[in-house]
Amino acid sequence: MKILVTGGCGFIGSNFIRHILRKYPSYKIVNIDALTYAGNPKNLRDIKGSGRYRFIHGRIEDKKLVKKILSKIDCVVNFAAETHVDRSIKDVSPFLTTNILGVHNLLEAARTVSIKKFVHISTDEVYGTLGDKGRFTEETPLMPNSPYSASKASGDLLVRAYHETYGLPAMIVRPSNNYGYFQFPEKFIPLMITNLLLNKPVPIYGKGENIRDWCFVEDTCAAIDSVMHNSKAGEIYNAGGNCEVRNIELAKSILKIMGKSDRYLKFVKDRPGHDYRYALDNSKIKRELGWKPSIKVREGLERTIKWYRDNEWWWKPLKEKLNNESKGFWS
């Protein structure tokens, strides 16, 4: 099988590429990435010379380029997206361009060349927010609350429309919050870890009462793999970690693992429209495809912390650039 991975130099995309090349010796991957701030070719430097991997620097909005690439592809796995809520609040335009117009361009090209499979990677944030009870199912109405999640929900609806209207063999995966290796250091967990490695405080929005469902990136890659190989066209699957944790509790767990005291916590003004709780119901993907998360949060955090300890070469230059860009907020 020959797979086009879009956004493959990003966090989950790069982990997925490594997962596929390791698990399926006959598969080949083409990776197209715009190399924006979170797209880092160093994420895949260990497979750069592989004859089964090819990188193309480009944007998914480029109609001519995308159509040319897809003419020789069996399956598309679309990770390409602008993803950070805070950035979408400051400037929504890039999110509309990539997450809506870019997705439309991919879908149109895939339809034109009669692609065999199209797997679109979404997010649990398209559902909006939960109270203290209940979980999101695949039937939960989409009620996004941030410009980021609204752009992702729009992309999801386009994918669904292309399946219903044109018969495009498309599927959607909605993971919960991911963490693990190669995650850009503005995200919550790597931000905390890298700040603590530098003996700097970690910013916590509000009182840290918000609840998230965390999934280790290797489990998410296995879920996407399962959907790609075993799902019927038109299906949507949640892929959560079955691990709900308040932000303050997660921060204290990381402090404990790293041998730091609570004095490193720095409570900051909450962001606008901050969703209270996310939690995904995994019943469908477990029942139909046999997937469930295998890595508990304690083990995942320990593995992630060790990776950042061992790979300062990767994150320190990104950290410096990020702090200069944000005038110290992430320090």
Is 287 part of any domain? no
Residue 250: partners with Cβ closer than 8 Å, 6 or more residues away = 188, 189, 212, 214, 297
C-alpha span between 229 and 182 (Å, rounded): 25
Is 318 part of any domain? yes
C-alpha span between 116 and 188 (Å, rounded): 36
- Other Cβ atoms within 10 Å of 307 Cβ, number: 17
Claim to verify: residue 123 and residue 262 sit in the same structural domain: no
198-202 long-range CB contacts below 8 Å, 24 or more apart?
Answer: 198/319, 200/264, 200/331, 201/264, 201/265, 201/266, 202/251, 202/254, 202/264, 202/265, 202/266
**Structural domain that includes position 165:** 2-179+214-239
- In the three-class reduction of DSSP (H, G, I as helix; E, B as strand; rest coil), residue 117 is classed as strand
- Return the pLDDT at 326: 60
Claim to verify: residue 131 and residue 195 sit in the same structural domain: no
Residues in the chain: 331
Q: Where residue 313 sits, what CATH number does that domain have?
A: 3.90.25.10
Is 107 part of any domain? yes
Q: Residue 11 is which amino acid?
A: F
Is 174 part of any domain? yes
Claim to verify: residue 144 and residue 14 sit in the same structural domain: yes
Query: What is the pLDDT tens value at each position of the chain, 331 positions in all?
Result: 999 999 999 999 999 999 999 999 999 999 999 999 889 999 999 998 889 999 999 999 999 999 999 999 999 999 999 988 989 999 999 999 999 999 999 999 999 999 999 999 999 999 999 999 999 999 999 999 999 999 999 999 999 999 999 999 999 999 999 999 999 999 999 999 999 999 999 999 999 999 999 999 999 999 999 999 999 999 999 999 999 999 999 999 999 999 999 999 999 999 898 999 999 999 999 999 999 999 999 999 999 999 999 999 999 999 988 877 764 444 3
**Residues 156 and 175: beta-carbon distance below 8 Å:** no
Residue 68: partners with Cβ closer than 8 Å, 6 or more residues away = none
**Residues 4 and 76: beta-carbon distance below 8 Å:** yes
Claim to verify: residue 201 and residue 152 sit in the same structural domain: no
Q: Where residue 151 sits, what CATH number does that domain have?
A: 3.40.50.720
Q: What is the DSSP letter of 136?
A: B
Claim to verify: residue 22 and residue 101 sit in the same structural domain: yes
- Return the pLDDT at 322: 81
Claim to verify: residue 63 and residue 143 sit in the same structural domain: yes
pTM across the whole model: 0.95
- Return the pLDDT at 329: 43
C-alpha span between 190 and 182 (Å, rounded): 9
Taking CA atoms, 132 is separated from 127, 135, 210, 315, in Å, by 15, 9, 10, 35
Claim to verify: residue 136 and residue 249 sit in the same structural domain: no
**Residues 60 and 98: beta-carbon distance below 8 Å:** yes
| Residues labelled catalytic | 124-125, 148
- Return the pLDDT at 273: 87
State how many domains the chain has. 2
